Amino acid sequence: MKLTGNTIFITGGGSGIGRGLAEALHKSGNQVIIAGRRKERLTEVANANPGMRWVELDIEDPASISAVAGRLITDFPKLNVLINNAGIMQIDDASTAIDENLLVTTLVTNVMGPIRMTGALIEHLKRQPNAAVINNSSVLAFVPLAMTAVYSASKAALHSYTMSLRYKLKDTPVKVLEIAPPWVQTDLLGSNNEPRAMPLADFVEETVRVLGTEAEEVLVERAKPLRNNAGPDEAAFVFQFNDMMANPQ
């Protein structure tokens, strides 16, 4: 996709990968609008990046999604890029009953949220000469992390939805891209200072570089071994990966 001259809406733009992408794309000459639940985070990011705009959004609430979509279409008629980035990640235990609140909140935020947000904006995006929907999934869509089974499953569902969306929009001006991050130093599971995770600045720099190509799957080099694991023998690596994560050396 072209990296300048866009009007870009990013959910979950107040922190982590969302903020990193928002700031990088803002500096590249795009009008960026960030959204999230925490007004103080949004205003902090916008104040640090003059010209960036923000809007409060509860991605779990269909009414909030509908209202924000209507406001965006009115206030930013040239909106042509949606980045579905908002997500939550919690520890669970698939060997026992999953907490109902964790289950519902994760699936509504990580799967239903992007589907609803896309649905609310898709007709507007179709009317733009060049547009994109970019879904932020995870390498855990391909190699699940057992201690976050619901999160991993939600990202696998988002990957599947993204492929269907790409097919259905193939004859429209809307491109459908998927970012599948590896472990990145963000506040998800308190990973800001985790030495095994990829530094956020490095991830954003490499991701934006790949976004500027024709790639439909936006993968940093560190993500590729896990993305490429899927196949008839994938279970062996899934076990190896989870043993390594459970027992780091």
Active site residues: 151
DSSP for residue 208: H
Q: Are the C-beta atoms of 139 and 181 separated by less than 8 Å?
A: yes
Q: Quick one: which of 248, 225, 86 has its CA closest to 143?
A: 225
| Distance in angstroms (rounded) separating the CA atoms of residues 200 and 159 | 22
| Distance in angstroms (rounded) separating the CA atoms of residues 101 and 88 | 12
Terminal-to-terminal C-alpha distance of the chain: 40
3-state secondary structure of 174: strand
| Distance in angstroms (rounded) separating the CA atoms of residues 87 and 136 | 9
Q: Are the C-beta atoms of 107 and 156 separated by less than 8 Å?
A: no
Structure tokens at 94: 């698939």
